[in-house]
Chain A
Amino acid sequence: MLDGIWIGLSTAFSFSNLLMVIGGCLIGTFIGMLPGLGPMSIIAIMIPVAISIGDPSAALILLAGVYYGAIFGGSTSSILINAPGVASTVATSFDGYPLARQGKAGKALTVAAIASFAGGSIGAILLMIFAPALASVALLFHSAEYFALMVVGLSAIAAFAGSGQVAKALLMTLVGLMMATVGEGALFNQPRFTMGILDLQSGFGFITLAMAMFALPEALFLVLDPSRSNSGGNGGDIKDLRITKEEAKKITPVIGRQSIQGFLIGVLPGAGATIASFLGYAVERNIAPKEEQAEFGKGSVKGLAAPESANNAACTGSFVPLLTLGIPGSGTTAILLGALIALNVSPGPRLMVDQPEIFWSVIISMYVGNVILLILNLPLIPYIAKVLAVPRNYLIPFILFFTLMGAYIGQNNATELLMLVGFGVCATLLRFANYPLAPLLIGFILGSMLEDNFSRSMQLYDGIGFILERPMTMGLLALAVILVVLPTIRARRVRKQELQAAESD
């Protein structure tokens, strides 16, 4: 492991890679602050840039930097103008915005930055411990287990989607899998489901789909509802960035607890940063002393530190399944996986053995990214926050233009732009109806891998028998079924009990 860390250090600390982290964090913070552009959209927009770099370590370092910067930027806009760019920073605004209203915006930003820094760094340490252990177990897996594991991952994403959302998330995953079968795969040398359209021969573009699922609906929502863009934010009155000793003492245990809890939640597929931040907030409010409990929601530093550290630790945690199993658990890691595949890197347990420089340099760059956010971005925030004043009339055409550019550069094909608009409209409708979109993209990206592993095991065992002959595969598949069915059964039982209670009244 020490060898690995050493390789990672020397890769991450090369001059060009340091520039990548710094640039990534700055770009991420800038764009992440804009309303309507979450980390997923930003990373999707940056992918063509990252791919053109060519070196996978540098590309991944850049994207990870953008990711961190975007999360930090999102927290900033939640604190300053109460406009969370992403769901995972909603909990940040509960106490961050009241603090800003009391004229303590600078203090709130510092607490947020320190909590994010600690959450991210503790997460990175846990990642260093967990990932190699998990990878060494995963090396024992065959394609049959891989297939089963991906099925578990996909069903877990559906299962954690929330009450009443399981079927929808599952359906979206299946639609993603369907879309992945379009085009000519390497497996059969035969075009499938192209409907005779030549442009579909190579399948749907992954960047196009990512843009259409996340960036375009957000931009359309901004157009539809002007109150969402909430411009006119005032970045000028951020003065005192210091926090007192008592405050530091108060938030230290909170940060410690929430970093670990957030990381563990982040590792689970489908749970992710949003759940981690809300849960972190709720837990800290419940265990706080009575007099401090009343402060929550009115500008408590604890209430700000909890979701921030949980959120960042969870983001780091979500890298565990991506780097060790090659299975993304969230929309963002799915996009990163797509970028890795485009760079000819196949993440999974072999990554640590075959390309240790990629694995370790990403982990090391997480530390570097966190340090940069703390020492570079925090002092610059008063200036970066000026971006919040960009008028909506300029913001929206530019977001749309960058969405189009991202799709065009990725495929170099004007038809791709028409597909982008078409899928974007579909995605907006799906969002209206409360269908989660991340499962679709995850299904789309995992689709070909899932089919590859399925086919390989079918060929090895000459039929579906591999499920019965490999107990681990069988166990994993059973787990997948339980994950999907259990929430439905539990919901039905609750409903039945409610009905009975109503009847006995």
Chain B
Amino acid sequence: MALDRWIALVILAVSLSYGYTAFFLMDAGLPPFMRFNPIWPSTFPKVIAVLATITSLAILLGFEKKPAESGADEIDFSRLWDYNIGQAVFLLALMVAYALLLRPAGFLLSTLLFIVIGAALLGERRFAILVPVAAVAAGGVWYLVQQTLGIYLSPLPTFLN
């Protein structure tokens, strides 16, 4: 089965559980006075759930004609392992680590580490240039966000604050 059908299957499962919630679970908590309303919180979701179920089934069962091959611009999923999949996964993991470290480690340290490790993963080895660039970028963005935009970003690790 091609990837687009697998995705349609996943979306079908999501729409069915969404629809189940809308049709059977949501109305239970509805206050009695709202039951006289012509529209309930579940009305609109019910409509979407039905339409999404039909559409994902249509893709899953292949009702629509296959499109012509897409342009050379796109990446061929069947040859995914020929690409730098390892690097991509590492960078995603790095983003997750950044998200988790941002509060405890502070903005400056986590940003510096993110850029340095990210570039190193991609093959950058001139750390004498990389580290200062990352430091200036981290400091510069912090200054812009904090001072110009007025959005608070805790700069230092929690134990120093």
Interface residues of A (CB under 8 A from B): 48-49, 52, 87, 90, 162-168, 170-171, 174-175, 177-178, 181, 187-188, 190, 192-193, 220-221, 223-226, 391-394, 396-398, 400-401, 404-405, 408-409, 412, 414-415, 417-418, 420-421, 424-425, 429-435, 450-451, 454-455, 458-459, 461-463, 488, 491-492, 495
Contact = CB atoms under 8 A, between A and B. Distances in A.
A459 B39 CA distance: 7
Given A177-B48, A435-B4, A168 B149 contact: no
B18 A394 contact: no
B12 to A, nearest CB: 9
Given A168-B4, A459-B38, A396 B124 contact: no
A425 B133 contact: no
B66 A164 contact: yes
Contacts of B131: none
A458 B130 CA distance: 60
Nearest to A53: B149
A459 B3 CA distance: 42
Interface in B14-40: 14-15, 18, 21, 26, 29, 34, 37-39
A397 B4 CA distance: 29
Given A52-B150, A188-B41, A223-B84, A488 B64 contact: yes
Contacts of B102: 408, 414, 417
Contacts of B37: 459
Contacts of A432: 3, 74-75, 77, 80
Main secondary structure of the interface of A (DSSP, over half): helix
Contacts of B38: 458-459, 461-463
A418 B96 contact: yes
Interface string B87-108: 1100110011011101100000
In this complex, the interface size class of chain B, counting residues with CB under 8 Å from chain A, is 35 or more
Contacts of B148: 52
Nearest to B149: A52
Contact of B84 (A52, A193, A224): A224
B91 A400 contact: yes
Contacts of B3: 429, 432-433
Contact of B4 (A400, A409, A433, A492): A433
A271 B73 CA distance: 20
A48 B148 CA distance: 12
Contact of B45 (A87, A164, A192, A415): A192
Contacts of A425: 92
B58 interface: yes
Given A393-B119, A432-B3, A491 B64 contact: yes
B151 A409 contact: yes
A488 B8 CA distance: 18
A421 B99 contact: yes
A404 to B, nearest CB: 6
Most buried by B among A165, A412, A451, A463: A451
22 contacts: A52-B148, A164-B64, A164-B67, A167-B58, A178-B45, A192-B41, A193-B18, A223-B122, A224-B75, A224-B85, A224-B87, A414-B100, A417-B98, A420-B95, A433-B2, A433-B3, A435-B4, A451-B44, A458-B38, A463-B38, A488-B64, A495-B65
A223 B91 CA distance: 9
A201 to B, nearest CB: 15
A432 B74 CA distance: 7
A424 B92 CA distance: 9
Given A164-B67, A398-B137, 10 more contacts: A165-B67, A167-B59, A188-B41, A193-B18, A223-B91, A393-B119, A397-B114, A409-B149, A429-B7, A432-B75
